[in-house]
Each structure stands twice: as C-alpha cells, then as structure tokens.
Amino acid sequence: MNLPAIASQSPEPALSIALPAALDGRNGNNRARGGHLQIAADTDVEAVRLWLAEYAGSPHTLRSYRKEAVRLLLWATQALGKPVSSLTREDFLVYEQFLAAPAGDWVDPARPRRGRTRRLIDGPLSERSRHQALGIVSGLLSYLVSAGYLAGNPLALRRRTGAAARRTHRVERYLDHALWDHVLASVEQWPRVTARDQQHHERSRWLIRLLYHTGLRVSEAANAKMADFYQRRGKWWLHVIGKGGSEGEVPVSSALMADLARYRVFHRLAPTPSGSETAAAVMSVVGDPHKHLTPAAVYLIVKEVFRRAADMLATDDPAGATTLRRASTHWLRHSAATHQADAGTDLRFIQKNMRHASIQTTGIYLHAEDDRRHAETVRELEQADPL
C-alpha cells in the first residue's frame, strides 16, 4: 500500500496531505449543493484544516483531533478509494470494524511513528477508544455540515450500543467544596518575600478565581481582556468569545469583582475596568497590560497551584492530595458547573453560563440528587440494622 505523503508534524494547526485529484473531495457525493458555504474550502483537506484551526488554542485537543482526521482521510482514500465527502453510513460501519481489528500495512510495526510513511494505528482500539475516535469524527462532520460543506453527517445515524448506551455519565473531574476551599487557603500561605514572589502570588490568586467563578476554558481565559468586564442594569457581566467564535455572557459576582479590584490595584490600575481598556484580564507576571498569557502558561500556573496545595495536604489527606495532583485547568470549569448545580441553580442558567450547546451536556454535573439518594438510603439501612 502506497500511503500519501504527510508533512512532518508542526505546532501549527495546518494539515498537509497530498491526495490524488480524483479523491480530494471536490466532487464528493455528500457535498452540499446550492447552499451558502461558510468556509473557504474546495477540498476535504482544506475543510479539515479549517476545522482544526478552531482548536489552535488547545494544543492537546488539536493533537488528538489531527490524528483522527489524518487517519480517516488516509483510510477512506486508500482502503475504499473514496474521499471523506463521499463516505456513507455503511462506509463508517466498515471503518468502525477497521478500528476494532486493523490489519495489513496499517499496523506494520516496521513503519515509523512519525514522518511521511508512519503507521496510523498501533493495534485494535478498545470500545472506549473507538467511541472517542468516532465521536471526534462525528464532530468534524457536524462542523462541515454547519459550514455548508457537507449535506449531512452519516455518523448522526449511529446507534449507541453496549456500555455506551447504558451508561449515565457524571463528571468526576472536579473538586468538592472542601478541596476547593483548601486550594484557596493554600495560595494565601505562599511565601511572598521578593517582589517577584508577590507578583506571582497575586496573578495565581486571581487566575484560579477567574476560572472558577466564570467557568472559562483555558483559551478563553488567556484571551480575555479587562474591557470584557462590563455593567448592565447595575450588574457586572463578562463577555466571552468561545469555541468557533461563539459569544456569550457570564454573570460576575461582587466577590469576583472585589478580587479583580485587588489584582488591578496591585498593578497600579484603577479598581474598576473601563470599556476602553486594552489590558489583558490576566497579565504577565510583571503586570505588562499588553501581553496576554498563552493557554499553555495558564495551564502551568494552575497546575502549580494544585501541586502546592497537594503538597500541603499530603500528610493529613493523601487521597485529596492525589486528586489535586491530577487536577488541571478544566477541573475548575467542571467545579464551577458542579458547585452551581449543588447550590440549586437552574439548569438552564448553568447551560448559559457554561455556554453548552445542549442542556444534556449540562446535566452531567447534577451530583446533588445522587448524594441525597445515597444519604437517605444509607440512613434507612442503618436505622433498620443499628448493629
């Protein structure tokens, strides 16, 4: 099998694959005809490249999504002799079988892991990995349908089966209230001997509160500006530009505004932001208002906060320390939604705050009902059998 040339991986979201003209997707059977195309793409590779560009601010997601896109493009053109824009539901049934039991050159261990002739799969994928891979591909196809590039998403017809159909998911990557309180308290114990220590403390203190109170994604926090905080009818809001350029508004509490005022005053700014400011919401450690943090920098700062908090907890609560060492930026977003749900906030409001497309996504944060069910069940059993 002669695999098409693949450019060496780079940190850019670009996708460079040389496909035969007959298989580049210009005339794909599933191409949308007569509608208004929302993206400047004539071929499948160009369309996939634009989809990947949406994740430029999330390097881990970008890497995972690029891998699945490359695998699908090469498998479709080489195994079926079809462009991705001609694949049918039946073709994806075959693709799922391939992921479960790949054979031939696709899994040849002699092929390098990188470069032009790398192998695209190491061996059979587990049910969970297949579900994740097809979920990513389905997201790609849905994006291309919304963009007016494809007429339909064949994977939208896929029936959930087995464990995936039976499982009711609940988000577990969040901090309970006690751990979150410990994180806040631990930051206040950081040494602040030098000016650099003080600068780092104030930025870290402000960043974790911003992420928690607003539920921002890491890229959203990195790109946020002071001018994004604004008042309407006497109440503070945060304007957010999220995935795919979608815009949203998040309520801002008086507590968070007080934290913002502290952070601004530390850097010799007025306590309250104005709409004309160009300063970043989270500045460089020395307070350069014109320098935004990268998403990677935001991630590393939060990881340091959790690591230090875990170190302080290691002796008294090793399980809690282990949880904190696993935690990352997205845990704060999950914690925000979970704690709002625990407080009885209307699910529709949480959906808007998190900017979820579907309220079903928001429902995975409902833990309080399970907690009450457990408590009442255990109490009844203990009363029935006090011994």
Would you call 26 a catalytic residue per the annotation? no
Tally the residues of the chain.
Answer: 387
Would you call 333 a catalytic residue per the annotation? yes
* Sequence-separated contacts (24+) of 163-170 with Cβ below 8 Å: 163/127, 164/127, 164/131, 169/364, 170/364, 170/365, 170/366, 170/367, 170/370
- Residue pair 84/28 in contact (Cβ under 8 Å)? The answer is yes
C-alpha separations of 27 from 41, 43, 83, 235 in Å? 13, 9, 9, 53
Helix (H) or strand (E) holding 230: strand 229-232
| Active-site position among 49, 213, 217, 334 | 217
Q: For residue 59, which of 67, 231, 253 has the smallest C-alpha distance?
A: 67
Would you call 243 a catalytic residue per the annotation? yes
Would you call 291 a catalytic residue per the annotation? no
Would you call 212 a catalytic residue per the annotation? no
- Residue pair 150/141 in contact (Cβ under 8 Å)? The answer is yes
| Active-site position among 243, 262, 267, 352 | 243
- Residue pair 26/42 in contact (Cβ under 8 Å)? The answer is yes
Contacts for 236 with CB less than 8 Å, ≥ 6 apart = 229, 230, 251, 252, 253, 254, 257
| Active-site position among 67, 262, 267, 356 | 356
- The secondary structure of residue 33, as a DSSP letter, is -
In whole angstroms, give the CA distance from residue 208 to residue 375.
Answer: 31
- Give the three-state DSSP class for 56: coil
Would you call 356 a catalytic residue per the annotation? yes
| Active-site position among 225, 330, 352, 367 | 330
- Residue pair 331/208 in contact (Cβ under 8 Å)? The answer is no
| Active-site position among 49, 130, 292, 333 | 333
Active-site positions read: 217, 243, 330, 333, 356, 365
